Structure 1
């Protein structure tokens, strides 16, 4: 069994806390990794080094996994936005994906930040008992403790069964977003947050999206935009209001009116 995570455009295979395989990537440059890790040219060795750093420092894919964090990694990341929205009670819970546990439901903002702030796109994972117990201790509900299944639709269904009404869910494609939105009714409101959207061919049924290194995401007409290099876009009023909850926790924020999207020259290369 392997944990499989997509990072910097490549699939990375991890077993027993070791990176065992890194596939080829089409991505050559990412401004976030340049800023935070000084990576000017992405290749398989740099990707391996980055994942090994995350394993060593934060325990990803191991029984030593840190699950709680109250500091932000970037001002406006998916985990940071959800953390603030939960703190300010704009959302009741979030349905997220965690290595070693799969789909997790929680109302704890710091568990969301701890589980999601350091990961990329988790494709497959297997259960690690110590991590699951730590998640549960901090108010997380693991959808399937035996298999660490990743199933965001079933996660939202379970969140509704648990009594949550304003539910955020991270999702990686329009098909799943549409299916999840079908669970909304007069009492249930679901925020679909599109993450890890490289190579996506359709942008529909999302409230918020991260642009990643995706060409398609940069063609949307958003209601609100955060950032210009790897932007986050609110596509609905619900999404806009949730992003504004994050603004409440930050200083030195400039708000202005522009025709969106507005992109800097410093984009990921190439856009996929």
Structure 2
């Protein structure tokens, strides 16, 4: 436990690498890329933005991951109110293909093709699930405060059997539009964890102005942001980078600070659908 506590504290802070940023548009895909200043055969993740958002709303998160030696590619597609999670999933795979085939930065940064994962926030979590289920290269899935996507999302989750991490707020496991609990029940891999982040909201990893933040008044809690950032970074380093130092972050049975691991089998079913639950609240 002491080791995990120390690693959580380290990963909550910016890592040792300086950061470079670039534009995916040079490869024909709107979006951004964040990389460490140098490195070869690096791990990479594709990041799918939330509903009515863009990559800039997750700039802080991408900078943090890049500072820990992780290449991040984030498509800026499907940004409208009727955005398609299938379309964004396809663009995630395309962005990862670009990352693994093109030398990045000044031409000396390369990605290890067998070490790629996906991260999705809200609506983007559905896109990440679909991409993970349809792209055999993807070895790791992170769903951040997931929201219901198309009807195919949970079916796709049932076919994905590698490592997965779901982060959610304690009171938003099965709500409108949150579907963290349903997603956890659909995922069947051995290393799948649903962890709740105290004092967090769906805006925890979101930078700047968004329509939802304006309507709900949700603000970021710094402590929640640090804890979630550390848990996510450690999980990616364990599963994508295959760094055994962080193996505990991929173990659902390991406690990560104040984050609570939720076992769906131990939850009592109140018999209410999300709409009725919302009205009751």
TM-score bin, normalised by smaller chain? 0.3 to 0.5
The structure that is helix-richer by fraction is: 2
Could you state the TM-score of these two structures normalised by the residue count of structure 2?
0.33
